[in-house]
Amino acid sequence: MNMITKRLLFWSPRGLCILFAIFLSLFALDVFSEGYGFGETILALLIHLMPTYLVVISLAIAWRWEWIGSILFIALALFYLASSGGGSWIISGPLFLIAILFLVNWMYRSRIKA
């Protein structure tokens, strides 16, 4: 395995997860158009950012333990599918992809670290 492949395999799930967290955060910006007061807006923003918190916490765990992160991202994707009634793959699809990439990262961990 050459150096470029090792780096790509290591950084792709992490980078995609960071980009996905930013993408999820964009959905929370709609609270500013609701006409709430300052305190209500902050509270609504914190609540709307809850999915982003879960993704970032899962990323922090997956950064160290890839196989646990893979399980967490699969669980998040399944939870979204269940809670949205089958919902859109726009949210659950990237979560499944990130889970697969972390799983592959874990399976080839010894080759990546070498």
Structure tokens that stand for 88 in this block: 């859109």
Of 6, 2, 13, give the one whose Cα is nearest residue 103: 13
Most confidently modeled range among 27-31, 37-41, 56-60: 56-60
Residues 6+ apart with CB under 8 A from 21: 52, 55, 56, 59
Tell me, what's the pLDDT at 1? Answer: 74
Instruction: Report whether 104 contacts 70 (CB < 8 A).
Output: no
Per-residue pLDDT tens digits for 45-71: 999 999 999 999 999 999 999 999 999
Residue 36: its pLDDT value, please?
Answer: 87
Q: Given pLDDT bands bounded at 50, 70 and 90, which one contains residue 112?
A: confident
> Is the pLDDT higher at 109 or at 59?
59
Q: Given this model, what pLDDT does residue 20 score?
A: 98
Across all residues in the chain, what is the average pLDDT? 93
Q: What are the structural domain ranges in the chain?
A: 3-113
State the DSSP string of 20-77. HHHHHHHGGGGGGGS---HHHHHHHHHHHTHHHHHHHHHHHHHHH-HHHHHHHHHHHH
**0.75 cut: is pTM over it?**
yes
